[in-house]
Amino acid sequence: MIIDNLIPLEEQSYARAIPIIGREKGKWLLKMIVKLKPKLILELGTANGYSGIILGSEGAELTTVDQNPRIIEEARQNFSQFNIKAEIIFGEGVKVVKRLVSQKKQYDLIFLDFAKKNYILVLDDCLKLLKTGGHLIADNITKDDCRNFKEVVLNHKQLKTEIIMIEDGLSCSRKIS
């Protein structure tokens, strides 16, 4: 299982204070990837590639965005080690998402794990990028910076959302219209 192969990267990440989703959320995320079988995935917040490896482990095309050039290079090496097909975009997530909307990109799954205060700022654009029936998954959903986002996705007319209470939580929203 890919999660077991990620143990050294997980331990290294924690030792260096690199924020990753970790093993328990990673197991849940992998189950979702296997169940949903997304072909095109957008990730906002690459870090060292830990979650991207999980997202891309079943053969999906991954587009991932981060604004830290050093960590992007590390992610690139980790993706290569795990044979993950990934397009890495250097840039600030909110701006990159707007550019992807202007390019009329579409994704089966979008994973948010970048600056929590920006989740709410990208929501409308993420819904434009997300195919009907696609899923928007957000990490750290119980953190204070996510409170507004959480309330909006729970009550949004285009989304059916559930909160997954693993550690500091995830939201999983399916776009219904």
Q: Can you tell me the mean pLDDT for 113-127?
A: 98
Q: What residues are paired with 86 via a beta bridge?
A: 62
Region 144-164 average pLDDT: 97
Burial of 55 (0-12, 13-18, 19+ CB in 10 A): buried
* Per-residue confidence (pLDDT) for residue 142, from 0 to 100: 95
Determine the structural domain holding residue 61 and report its residue range: 2-175
According to the model, what pLDDT value does residue 1 have? 78
Q: Structurally, how many domains does the chain consist of?
A: 1
Q: What's the average model confidence in pLDDT over 141-167?
A: 97
User: Quick one: which H or E segment has residue 171?
Assistant: strand 170-175
Per-residue pLDDT reduced to its tens digit, 62-93: 999 999 999 999 999 999 999 999 999 999 99
Domain containing residue 145: CATH number: 3.40.50.150
